[in-house]
Structure 1
Amino acid sequence: MTAEDELTRPDKTAETAAALHPLLAQRWSPRVLDPAVTIDDRTFTALFEAARWAPSWGNTQPARFIAGRRGEGTFERIHRVLSRGNRGWAGNAAMLVIGVARKLNEDGEPMPYGEYGLGLAAENLVLQAEAEGLHGHQMAGFDAEAARAEFGVPDDFEPKVAIAVGALGDLADADDGLRDKELRPRSRKPLDEIVFTGSWSTSAF
């Protein structure tokens, strides 16, 4: 990749202590998306099949999704409930999604691990997007109560995340602020700060 290529379509492959599957090493959350790319019916189905087959506590399957592809009314309605900062770039996504977690079971009791189950399903969706040559950007920046009202989400469910899915766009078309964010190096805490053995103060690495 040339320096010019890096400024338009950066290589964001993770630097890891051990080799990872490319779907994991190359997964990242771009904001600069290609407004010409669309999601066909097969890919749309594959993304939500991946989410459907995520593990969940007791197979309770607490994850639900509201989804719209660009050009559809649902896409525009989801776009309206995003935070101002996310609305600025997410309109170029091929698809917008609201992830919803079931919080009460059929007896009105708290659903154990409902948010955890939604998180697993959302990550399955994002990894399937990578397999399809797309990217998923998960967002906390949206108005959950506005989403509830907009789509009639029942009280026993909670909108928890918005997801933009699309293909990487050309950074040359982005403003300076957005371009700087996209070129910023990826980073994570080192393993010796997050994995312990024997006691909390003893790193496994």
Structure 2
Amino acid sequence: MTVRKTAVTAVPLHPLLAERWSPRGLDATHELTQDQLTAVLEAARWSPSASNTQPWRFAVARRGTRTFDDVRDALARGNQLWAHAASALVVVAAETTGPDGAPRPWAVYDTGQAVAHLSVQAQHEGLVLHQLGGFDRDRVAALLGLPDQVQPLVVLALGRHAAGAELPEALAAREVAPRERLPLDALLLPLPEDPAA
């Protein structure tokens, strides 16, 4: 059974955007090809950043490696229940201070843009990813030997969707639930009155 969760939008969107969602049901037998992995990382590499600082950093741990197991063990318990089936766990970090010691106030924003680009390329590659904020940042930073200026932000569970994957009941229900977003009008900030009007 294929689960399609195409977004209901006010105007048509590109299918790579409209069809992207974040499943937890992953194929535990799938292995990323090197070309797929290179493509998603290249998409992130070419995203925009303030003053072209490119603050994003990635650590890719493939399933079957000790680093994968260590990153999985640093996830919140609810995420461990299903993320073990990912083809790779990708730690995404931001370099928040430059080599000259100057702070990079847009580093986290820019790294988020890089992940957005990565997610669209993953969709194009026939892959899915689920972004995980529930993990022990200090533990992951120590595991990877990250310096203080490189802060882990998120872990990406990357792989291939498996609609029939075994999940706890509550998570299985979320896999088939409709996608929801606030209406567009609710996202628009009110503008001050134009005195010239």
Q: What TM-score, normalized by structure 2, do the two folds share?
A: 0.93
Q: Is 1:185 the counterpart of 2:182 in the alignment? A: no
Identity %: 43
Give the match for residue 154 of structure 1.
147
Aligned to 2:64: 71
Distance 1:101 1:195 in 2: 28
**2 CA distance for matches of 1:24 and 1:81?**
30
Query: Could you report, residue by residue, the CA deviation over 1:126-147 in whole angstroms, capped at 9, with x for unpaired residues?
Result: 1111000010101100110000
1:126, 1:135 within 8 Å by CA — same for their partners in 2?
yes
Listed as ranges, the matches of 1:47-66 within 5 Å are 47-66=40-59
Which residue is equivalent to 1:203? none
| Alignment of 1:173 onto 2:174 | no
SS at match of 2:129: strand
Q: Distance in 2 between matches of 1:163 and 1:81?
A: 13
Shift of 1:110: 1.3
Task: Establish whether residue 126 from structure 1 lines up as the match of residue 123 from structure 2.
Answer: no
**C-alpha contact (below 8 Å) 2:74/2:139 kept by paired residues:** yes
Which runs of 5 or more residues in structure 2 are unaligned?
none
TM-score by length of 1: 0.89
Q: Equivalent residue for 2:29?
A: 36
Q: Does 1:194 align with 2:187?
A: yes
Distance 1:129 1:162 in 2: 15
Letter of the 1:149 partner, please give it: A
Q: 1:92 corresponds to which residue? A: 85
C-alpha deviation, 1:172, in angstroms: 6.0
Is the contact made by 1:104 and 1:111 (CA closer than 8 Å) also made in structure 2? Answer: yes
- Equivalence for 1:113: 106
Structure 1 gaps of 5+ residues are 201-205
